[in-house]
Amino acid sequence: MSDWVMVLSEGDRTAKKIHRCDECLRKISIGESYHHEFYVDGSYSGYHKTCQHCMAIRQYVLVHINDTFIYGQLIDEIGNGPMESWKDRLMYAGYRRQWKRKDGKMWKVIK
Ligand SMILES: [Zn+2]
């Protein structure tokens, strides 16, 4: 693995089948929006799918914490920090619960 991946194409999609978020590892349900990226990393290419909840974390991290992140380790940017703000703690808690409430419903996307 090189230090940087090159994203060749990306966009938001609506799931026509069940996918898995490559950040929180939860199932992305049919009909749910997610972010899709096709990337190259050295001689390896692959797809990275991110649920809306984790995309909100990505936006937050890129604006407030770090100007970069590693695929699959996005939450570490928050979890390894001091978690001083309520938003840090809320995003970290939601991620750890894979965005599911105790009653089984999904959390709202944190903005
Ligand atoms: Zn996710």
Q: Using CA of residue 36, residue 67, residue 80, residue 7, what is the dihedral sign? A: positive
Instruction: Please tell me the distance between residue 27's alpha carbon and the centre of ligand 1 in angstroms.
Output: 8
Name the residue among 83, 30, 27, 80 with its Cα closest to residue 53. Answer: 27
Instruction: Please tell me the distance between residue 2's alpha carbon and the centre of ligand 1 in angstroms.
Output: 24
Per-residue pLDDT at 82? 87
Per-residue pLDDT at 25? 97
Instruction: Please tell me the distance between residue 36's alpha carbon and the centre of ligand 1 in angstroms.
Output: 12
pLDDT per position as a tens digit, 60-111: 999 998 898 999 999 999 988 888 899 999 999 999 999 999 999 999 999 8
* CATH of segment(s) 6-96: 3.30.1740
Residue 9 structure tokens:
């194409």
**Spatial CB neighbours of 86, under 8 Å, sequence gap ≥ 6:** none
Instruction: Please tell me the distance between residue 3's alpha carbon and the centre of ligand 1 in angstroms.
Output: 22
Instruction: Please tell me the distance between residue 1's alpha carbon and the centre of ligand 1 in angstroms.
Output: 22
Q: Which residues pair with 14 in a beta bridge?
A: 33
The residue written with tokens 């407030």 in the block is 64
Q: How confident is the model at residue 2 (pLDDT cuts 50, 70, 90)?
A: low
pLDDT per position as a tens digit, 41-59: 989 999 999 999 999 999 9
Per-residue pLDDT at 81? 87
Per-residue pLDDT at 1? 45
The answer to whether 28 and 20 are in contact (CB under 8 A) is yes
Instruction: Please tell me the distance between residue 10's alpha carbon and the centre of ligand 1 in angstroms.
Output: 16
Map out the domains of the chain as residue ranges: 6-96
Percentage of the chain exceeding pLDDT 70: 97
